[in-house]
Copies of this chain bind each other. A is one copy, B any other.
Amino acid sequence: MLAGKSYLMIPGPTPVPPAVVAAMSRPMIGHRSADFADLYRRVADKLRRVCQTSNEVFVLTSSGTGAMETAVANVISRGDKVLALITGNFGERFARIARAYGASVVEVNFGWGGAVDPQVVADYLRDREIKAVLATQNETSTGVANDIAALGRLLADHPALLLVDAISGLGGMDIRTDEWGVDLLVGASQKALMLPPGLAFVTVSPKAWRVIERNEGPRFYFDLQAARKAQANWNAPFTPAVSLFFGLEAALDMILAEGLPRVFERHALLAAAVRAAVRALGLELLAPDEHASHTVTAVVGPEGVAVDELRRVLYSRYGVSVAGGQGVLRGKIFRIAHMGFVDRADVLAVLAALEMALAELNYPVALGSGVRAAQEVFLGRRQS
Residues on A lying within 8 angstroms of B by beta carbon are 4, 6, 8, 10, 12-16, 21, 24-25, 27-33, 61-66, 69, 73, 96-97, 100-102, 188, 190, 196-198, 217-223, 237-244, 321, 323
Copies of the chain in the assembly: 2
> Are B221's CB and A218's CB within 8 A?
no
Decide: A65 near B221, CB < 8 A? Known: A197-B240, A242-B13, A243-B198: yes
Residues from chain B with a CB closer than 8 A to the CB of A244 are: 196, 198, 241, 243
Q: What CA separation (Å) do A220 and B93 show in the bound complex?
A: 10
Q: What CA separation (Å) do A8 and B62 show in the bound complex?
A: 25
> Are A62's CB and B65's CB within 8 A?
no
Q: How far is the CB of A127 from chain B (nearest CB, A)?
A: 24
> Are B63's CB and A240's CB within 8 A?
yes
> Are B321's CB and A196's CB within 8 A?
no
Decide: A30 near B10, CB < 8 A? Known: A197-B61, A241-B198: yes
> Are A196's CB and B28's CB within 8 A?
yes
> Are A220's CB and B69's CB within 8 A?
yes
> Are A6's CB and B27's CB within 8 A?
yes
> Are A239's CB and B190's CB within 8 A?
yes
Partner of A242, one of B69, B197, B321: B197
> Are A196's CB and B63's CB within 8 A?
no
Partner of A97, one of B28, B197, B220, B243: B220
> Are B239's CB and A197's CB within 8 A?
yes
Residues from chain B with a CB closer than 8 A to the CB of A15 are: 27-28
Residues from chain B with a CB closer than 8 A to the CB of A13 are: 28-31, 239, 242
With both beta carbons as reference points, the residue of chain B lying nearest to A67 in the complex is identified as B221
Q: What CA separation (Å) do A12 and B188 show in the bound complex?
A: 24
Partner of A241, one of B8, B197, B323: B197
Q: What CA separation (Å) do A62 and B25 show in the bound complex?
A: 20
With both beta carbons as reference points, the residue of chain B lying nearest to A243 in the complex is identified as B196
Residues from chain B with a CB closer than 8 A to the CB of A223 are: 100
> Are A69's CB and B321's CB within 8 A?
no
With both beta carbons as reference points, the residue of chain B lying nearest to A11 in the complex is identified as B30
Q: How far is the CB of A9 from chain B (nearest CB, A)?
A: 10
Q: What CA separation (Å) do A73 and B100 show in the bound complex?
A: 13
> Are A63's CB and B61's CB within 8 A?
yes
Q: What CA separation (Å) do A222 and B13 show in the bound complex?
A: 21
Residues from chain B with a CB closer than 8 A to the CB of A238 are: 63-66
With both beta carbons as reference points, the residue of chain B lying nearest to A100 in the complex is identified as B220
Partner of A66, one of B10, B12, B62, B218: B62
